[in-house]
Amino acid sequence: MGYARTIVFDLDGTLVDTAPDLISALNHVLEREGLAPLPLATARNMIGAGARRLLERGLEAEGRLVGPEEMNRLTADFIDYYAENIAVASRPFDGLEAALDALADRGCQFAVCTNKLEWLSRRLLDQLGLSARFAAICGADTFGVQKPDPAILRQTIARAGGEIGAAIMVGDAGTDVGAARRAGVPVIGVSFGYTDVPIAELKPDRLIDHMVDLPAAVDALRPLTGSQLIT
């Protein structure tokens, strides 16, 4: 039996433009703490390392440092609010579903590897009608490690029933490039995501500016061969 090509996606800033709802949740917590809300354009590049780190960055931007217990409380408040408002304005990036259709027609399967909590990831993808497209949806709590630790990527590929030698990572930030490099998986960067370091500077194997370009980038990295077809 051969293996399908497994395309593993980051979630926030790669599959879905989640910034509006994430920053809304951040500002909900900041305003409850008597702090000014952050503009979306300022805060969007704080996304990518999980809820706690986003909140830490938001508080740091306001000059507020808090202890571990208070941070636990604020993070719980953030997650509670975000879970109830997870898909108010979040939408798949333009061209995503057409790209997935084209790749599926070529024998690819898909997985999600994110630093978002798994249950939040599933809730988001459920509400957007995307969950059924993915053979595995794995988050920061699924295996107890986060990107750029390569273990989360390797285990996501395994859970999807794929193999490292037929996999590609697609992401928007250094955590994605780092996890892919350490796992020995080629990586496609997207230029429209959330990162404080431009993705081009991280030198992914391919860089795309729109999801319409994803199938060609996949084919350039992992040409479809007989051994990669499920038989």
Omega into 148 within 30° of 0, i.e. cis? yes
Q: What are phi and psi of 189, to 5 degrees?
A: -95, 145
176 part of the active site: no
The pair of structure tokens assigned to 141 is: 């709590």
Set 10, 12, 17, 172: catalytic member: 10
- CA dihedral sign of residues 78, 13, 159, 149: negative
Closest by CA to 79, choosing from 128, 29, 10, is 29
Per DSSP, the three-state class of 91 is strand
**DSSP β-bridge partners for residue 188:** 170, 206
Instruction: Mark out the alpha helices in the chain (DSSP H runs).
Output: 19-32, 40-43, 51-61, 68-84, 96-105, 118-127, 150-159, 174-183, 214-221
User: Are the C-beta atoms of residues 81 and 36 closer than 8 Å to each other?
Assistant: no
177-186 residues labelled b (16+ CB within 10 A) or e (exposed): bbbbbebebb
Q: Which residues are catalytic?
A: 10
